[in-house]
Structure 1
Amino acid sequence: MARNNRTVVPESRAMIKQMQYEIAAEFGLYGSGYGGGADTEFASELGALGSSGRMGSSPYLGHLTSRDNGSVGGEITKRLVKQAEQSLFS
């Protein structure tokens, strides 16, 4: 079965990526090498730091389980649905 994972609005990619790092930081999923328990104020910096500390490349997050990653994705979905409902009913 073919999968269709293309982004409908390509401009939203950066916003989704930012939300991903913010939620992961809220959940405390970054280990001591990534500022463990970092607060969301610095989530964008976590997302911008590469595994060697350089800006631009994604950090290595191989220590995260599928369950952890799924919980972040589920939370992103919940928040996007909530935002859409608020915009429809406002």
Structure 2
Amino acid sequence: MARGNRTVVPESREMLKQMKFEIAAEFGLYGPVPGAGADTEFASELGMLGGAPAASRTPYLGHITSRDNGSVGGEITKRLVKQAEQALFS
């Protein structure tokens, strides 16, 4: 029986996606697209680079290494564990 990557709480999908882009931006993995004139300080703006909405166009991210992607996933896990610990012990 294959488990796959399934989201236990489907409503959290967008929050996790936003967190992924925010952490990647913090790590400097996504920079400004030449000619786009956009500031990538906030991850919500990343989907709008080039003037097209995020739903219709995804930026090319093939230049990012597996190690860098793994570090983003690891940081997401650290932050989620920290949030859960704070919720339990406060």
Q: Which of the five TM-score ranges fits, normalised by the shorter chain?
A: 0.7 to 0.9
Structure 2 alignment gaps of length 5 or more: none
CA offset digits 1:22-81 (Å, max 9, x no partner): 00000000144278x932xx21110x236x541023221111000010000000000000
TM-score, L = length of structure 1: 0.81
Partner of 1:79: 79
Runs of 4+ in 1 over 3 A off after TM superposition: none
Structure 2 residue 19 is matched with structure 1 residue 15: no
Q: Is the 8 A contact 1:28 1:38 kept in 2?
A: no
* Alignment: residue pair count: 85
Determine the C-alpha separation between the residues in 2 that align with 1:63 and 1:31: 12
Instruction: Give the alignment's Cα RMSD to 1 decimal.
Output: 2.2
Structure 1 alignment gaps of length 5 or more: none
Partner amino acid, structure 2, of 1:89: F
Partner of 1:61: 61
Larger Rg: 2
TM-score, L = length of structure 2: 0.81
Identity %: 74
